[in-house]
Structure 1
Amino acid sequence: MTPPRLRPALVTLSAAALLTVASAAPAAPVAASPAPARSSVVLDWYDTTAETVAAAGAPTQITNSRTWAISWLAAARATRQAPAGVDRGAFQDAALASAVHDALVALAPARTEALDAALDRTLDAIPDGYAEERGVAAGTRQAAQVLAARQDDGLDPASVNAPFTVPPAGPGVWQPTPPAYAPAVQYGNRLAKPFLLERADLFRLGPPPAVGSARYRADLAEVRAYGAADSTVRTSRQSETADFWFGSSLTLYTEPLRVALARSGQSTDRRAGLVALFHAALVDTQIATSDSKYAYLRWRPVTALRTGTIDPDPAWTPRHITPAHPDYPSGHATYAGAAETVLTALVGARTAPFELTSPTAPGVTRSYTSWRRLTSENVDARVWSGIHTRSADEAGVVLGGDVARYALDHSGRLFGRL
């Protein structure tokens, strides 16, 4: 049975409790505005993490999400360990820099030189003395402990893309998709060790609409019309939305999370906790996504439209190339639903306007004031790309929200033993 959803009020309370555990400072206002420009070790190391993942990251998104989660979980744990009698600010800056540095060096050794230089810059700005020394030691210790706890967790690229045997073709059954007809990917996610979920299938979705049902027919008709490469009904704005959200969710949500981090007004340890919880929840969301995908093995629209029994069109082609895994649910939608849930719980539903660009829509800049709009655009984009049904997108938002609420409600466990 699917566990009941947690009430939003309890989730918010639990999230607040997590951050209170990390710091005795008062909570920041929900409707945050841009803070005055100033040097921030938190933002410096956020940017360093993003640069490291971009330059030396793994070919699998969930592995890179793991890198973020491990690095910032170590930082969150280290920054709350300031002993009495030290300059708390100096201790926390040193602890965060040391923790993220050591974790990233272990996970992306090709970037060691750049990471060492970044650490030197941070420590050069901190007064020498006991607080700095203790902070560096705490960061080193926590990085080692989290890395050890997550060793062999099944989130390395080879494990993520574990071999999958494709079942015989049949109505609704996933098959490799054109043009490459590549083997299935991400099957191994469902076998990996979550950060907080008790098991991968804890929030497994109910089945997708039955093949031939009214909802199935409506879904297919929408993708046929709006998702085709040569669609005559998709508007230029809809095409732009499809292109904008076609890239990696991890890449596309790096800037929104940074905006939330910069505007939170919270202490160093609370902000480190925000980044850690966000990425731990998103690792678990990707694990749960793979579980539902490979439990139901629903075929992609391109297969249904080319070979199905409803007005088959062997030449139908989607706007974007279909990823090599099942339709239901959409991974972009689960990611968006989880991200929205975490950000809303920890920093509020709305913020001052911020701009966002996308590597898959060069020259396009969009402005946002809420996390919900990111989610709604993801849902539409996957239909207008021709690679998902709306049912798969909407179910994905539900699954992502369920996993994120669970992570928020159990987030205190992140700051003890894994």
Structure 2
Amino acid sequence: MSTSFAKPQETNWPKIYKEEFFHITEVMVTDVASPPVAARIYAYTNLAAYLVIKSQGAEFQNKDLLEHSYLSSHDWEIRSEKVQSPEFAAVLAFLKVGKAIMPSGYLLEEKQSEWIQKAIKAKIISKKTLQAHIDLATEVAVKVMDVAKKDGYLQLSTLTRYTPQKGEGFWYPTPPAYIAAVEPEWKTIKPFYIQNLEDYKPAPMAPFDMKEGSSFHTQLMEVYNTTNELNEERKLIANFWDCNPFKVEFSGHMAIGVKKISPGGHWIGITGIAAQKANLSFTETAYVHALVGLTLHDAFISCWKAKYDTDRIRPETVINQKFDQRWRPLLQTPPFPEYTSGHSVISRASAVVLTGYFGDNFDFIDSSETYFGLPERPFPSFLYASEEAAISRLYGGIHFRDAIEEGIKQGEKIGTMIWSNLNQ
């Protein structure tokens, strides 16, 4: 994507934020960042932009995002001087955090240089004031990374490796690549707003039971029959919300990764679309992006705890083992346990905070997936989009209904808690 500038007073900041931030998503796709890892990156990068704007004395429509979060106890005093364009410094800050936090973050060095040249050319900043902006962005980025280094992520590699449990009903690696379980200890990562993960524990799932008429068997057959009778609209819905960065295609003996956005990336994209449609100021654009980023982070931690606490088998494994060895779901099954549905949890949590911010029935055209070859899709509201994202997992053949429905409830509870805290 290329960013185009008008004169400073006419600058379309929501559009520029969206386009410049997409460079971070591109690097995540290159790194094949797992969904929870991607959410963590979205949280810290957008937090950097928010903190730059906050440090420059901006006033936001809603409460400070640091309030009611563990971030409130951190030292966020910024010593850098006031700058000509806080907006420019904020974009530079999220690019700097992106460079520091991602394995292939070095790819953003070029984007930082391009951003500086574009801003000088458009007279957003002057060469004389450039260093002051760089100093501010660097100071904030360093502070954000100091917090990121203490959230438990660096300790994940030292924890006991996950081993699939023996016995019926437990998760096992799925075709075609049989990838090992992804981020089994993600529940140890520090959330921003959730104080006790047990408060967001979903209702018990249907126990593994292959007797005809049992809840589990009924749901299993629903997955099997639904995927065998998909119409074109349901196929489109499933593919639109696929968001599986681990998708693999085989050519002979060669495995080829298919580039896809993560679920969190899809909702960050929607956030940018909404900010642009509402013609938000840069201040509010940074706020709502940080809000969604922090929400995604907490929602994934809660969901991943449920996944590995329950360690539930995927529909594909049961169907292949019990009655149809050749059956494959429409979507490739992601490499982690089934309950609850990640897209259901994070889509609902994101939709709740976006609805709180933009209001009910905020219609939009979702073009988040056009970069990945999928068409635009219109939605009458964020909540409607989250419902479609959730049911897409049934159409895709990768989730049982209770994982979807309980995932929606889990996400609703998380989103409501976060938005309520900001509006007490």
Residue 187 (structure 1) aligns with:
184
Once residues 234 and 372 of structure 2 are traced to their aligned partners in structure 1, the CA distance between those partners, rounded to angstroms, is 12
Counterpart among 98, 105, 108 of residue 104 in structure 1: 98
1:350 aligns with 2:361: yes
Q: Secondary structure, in 3 states, of the residue corresponding to 1:351?
A: coil
Deviation for aligned residue 1:168: 0.8
Q: Give CA-to-partner distance per residue, 1:58-93, whole Å, 9 cap, x none.
A: 322332322222122122122123369xxx994422
Q: Could you tell me which amino acid in structure 2 is paired with residue 238 of structure 1? A: R
1:252 aligns with 2:248: no
Q: Say if 1:38 and 1:162 are closer, same or farther in 2 by CA, change over 3 A.
A: farther
Once residues 202 and 157 of structure 1 are traced to their aligned partners in structure 2, the CA distance between those partners, rounded to angstroms, is 24
Q: Could you tell me which amino acid in structure 2 is paired with residue 173 of structure 1? A: F
Is the 2:347–2:386 contact (alpha carbons within 8 Å) kept by the matching residues of 1? yes
Residue 48 (structure 1) aligns with:
20
Is the 2:320–2:327 contact (alpha carbons within 8 Å) kept by the matching residues of 1? yes
Once residues 422 and 158 of structure 2 are traced to their aligned partners in structure 1, the CA distance between those partners, rounded to angstroms, is 24
Aligned positions of 1:295-314 closer than 5 A: 295-308=309-322, 312-314=323-325
Is the 1:302–1:316 contact (alpha carbons within 8 Å) kept by the matching residues of 2? yes
Once residues 83 and 234 of structure 1 are traced to their aligned partners in structure 2, the CA distance between those partners, rounded to angstroms, is 53
Deviation for aligned residue 1:344: 0.5
Q: Secondary structure, in 3 states, of the residue corresponding to 1:354?
A: strand
Bigger Cα displacement from structure 2, 332-341 vs 350-359: 350-359
Q: Secondary structure, in 3 states, of the residue corresponding to 1:314?
A: coil
Q: Could you tell me which amino acid in structure 2 is paired with residue 255 of structure 1? A: G
Q: Could you tell me which amino acid in structure 2 is paired with residue 145 of structure 1? A: K
Q: Secondary structure, in 3 states, of the residue corresponding to 1:187?
A: coil
Deviation for aligned residue 1:324: 1.6
1:368 aligns with 2:364: no
Q: Say if 1:42 and 1:160 are closer, same or farther in 2 by CA, change over 3 A.
A: farther
Q: Say if 1:181 and 1:353 are closer, same or farther in 2 by CA, change over 3 A.
A: closer
Once residues 38 and 211 of structure 1 are traced to their aligned partners in structure 2, the CA distance between those partners, rounded to angstroms, is 59
Residue 6 (structure 1) aligns with:
none
Bigger Cα displacement from structure 2, 199-208 vs 348-357: 348-357
Once residues 54 and 118 of structure 1 are traced to their aligned partners in structure 2, the CA distance between those partners, rounded to angstroms, is 16
Is the 2:14–2:280 contact (alpha carbons within 8 Å) kept by the matching residues of 1? no
Is the 2:344–2:411 contact (alpha carbons within 8 Å) kept by the matching residues of 1? yes
Q: Say if 1:156 and 1:381 are closer, same or farther in 2 by CA, change over 3 A.
A: farther
Q: Between the two proteins, what is the percent identity of the paired residues?
A: 22
Bigger Cα displacement from structure 2, 339-348 vs 266-275: 266-275
Aligned positions of 1:261-410 closer than 5 A: 261-308=275-322, 312-356=323-367, 358=369, 362=373, 364-410=375-421
> TM-score, normalised to structure 2's length?
0.76
Deviation for aligned residue 1:133: 6.7
Residue 219 (structure 1) aligns with:
219
Residue 11 (structure 1) aligns with:
none
Q: Could you tell me which amino acid in structure 1 is paired with residue 345 of structure 2? A: T
Once residues 162 and 382 of structure 2 are traced to their aligned partners in structure 1, the CA distance between those partners, rounded to angstroms, is 35
1:206 aligns with 2:203: yes
Q: Give CA-to-partner distance per residue, 1:350-408, whole Å, 9 cap, x none.
A: 23442436369845332223112221222221111111111111111111222222333
Residue 146 (structure 2) aligns with:
148
Residue 235 (structure 1) aligns with:
231
Once residues 138 and 360 of structure 1 are traced to their aligned partners in structure 2, the CA distance between those partners, rounded to angstroms, is 32
1:173 aligns with 2:170: yes
Is the 1:201–1:291 contact (alpha carbons within 8 Å) kept by the matching residues of 2? no
Once residues 390 and 418 of structure 2 are traced to their aligned partners in structure 1, the CA distance between those partners, rounded to angstroms, is 23
Is the 2:273–2:364 contact (alpha carbons within 8 Å) kept by the matching residues of 1? no
Q: Say if 1:178 and 1:160 are closer, same or farther in 2 by CA, change over 3 A.
A: farther
Q: Could you tell me which amino acid in structure 1 is paired with residue 225 of structure 2? A: A
> TM-score, normalised to structure 1's length?
0.78
Once residues 65 and 351 of structure 1 are traced to their aligned partners in structure 2, the CA distance between those partners, rounded to angstroms, is 24
Once residues 240 and 129 of structure 1 are traced to their aligned partners in structure 2, the CA distance between those partners, rounded to angstroms, is 49
Residue 247 (structure 2) aligns with:
none
Is the 2:53–2:86 contact (alpha carbons within 8 Å) kept by the matching residues of 1? yes
Q: Which runs of 5+ in 2 are unaligned?
A: 1-8, 59-81, 244-261
Bigger Cα displacement from structure 2, 45-54 vs 337-346: 45-54
Q: Could you tell me which amino acid in structure 1 is paired with residue 151 of structure 2? A: D
Once residues 161 and 182 of structure 1 are traced to their aligned partners in structure 2, the CA distance between those partners, rounded to angstroms, is 19
Q: Give CA-to-partner distance per residue, 1:149-191, whole Å, 9 cap, x none.
A: 1115344797599731111122x22222233333211213212
Deviation for aligned residue 1:100: 2.1
Deviation for aligned residue 1:120: 3.3
Is the 2:24–2:95 contact (alpha carbons within 8 Å) kept by the matching residues of 1? no
Number of residues paired by the alignment? 366
Residue 5 (structure 1) aligns with:
none
Once residues 382 and 155 of structure 2 are traced to their aligned partners in structure 1, the CA distance between those partners, rounded to angstroms, is 30
1:117 aligns with 2:117: no
Is the 2:274–2:364 contact (alpha carbons within 8 Å) kept by the matching residues of 1? no
Q: Could you tell me which amino acid in structure 2 is paired with residue 115 of structure 1? A: Q
Is the 1:177–1:324 contact (alpha carbons within 8 Å) kept by the matching residues of 2? yes
Q: Which runs of 5+ in 1 are unaligned?
A: 1-36, 413-418
Q: Say if 1:362 and 1:157 are closer, same or farther in 2 by CA, change over 3 A.
A: farther
Q: Could you tell me which amino acid in structure 2 is paired with residue 193 of structure 1? A: K
Q: Could you tell me which amino acid in structure 1 is paired with residue 241 of structure 2? A: W
Q: Could you tell me which amino acid in structure 2 is paired with residue 180 of structure 1? A: A
Bigger Cα displacement from structure 2, 152-161 vs 179-188: 152-161
Residue 163 (structure 1) aligns with:
161
